[in-house]
Amino acid sequence: MTNHTWIDWCQKQLGDLSRRLLLQGYQPHRIEYLKRTRPEFRQQFDTFMDRVYDVMEAMAQNPEGFHHFDAFTKAKQELLLFTNTHRQALLELDLAETA
Total domains, the chain: 1
Does this model's pTM top 0.75? My answer is yes
Q: What pLDDT, on a 0 to 100 scale, did the predictor assign at position 28? A: 94
Residue 31 host element (H or E):
helix 28-37
Domain residues for the domain of 12 are: 3-98
Q: What is the pLDDT of residues 6-32, one digit of tens each?
A: 888 889 999 999 999 999 999 999 999
Q: What is the pLDDT of residues 45-86, one digit of tens each?
A: 999 999 999 998 888 888 787 787 889 999 999 999 999 999
> Can you tell me the distance from the alpha carbon of 48 to that of 18, in angstroms, rounded to the nearest whole number?
13
Q: What pLDDT, on a 0 to 100 scale, did the predictor assign at position 93? A: 62
Q: 41: exposed, middle or buried (C-beta count within 10 Å: 0-12, 13-18, 19+)?
A: buried
> Can you tell me the distance from the alpha carbon of 90 to that of 24, in angstroms, rounded to the nearest whole number?
11
Phi, psi (degrees; rounded to nearest 5) at 60: -65, -35
Q: What pLDDT, on a 0 to 100 scale, did the predictor assign at position 3? A: 77
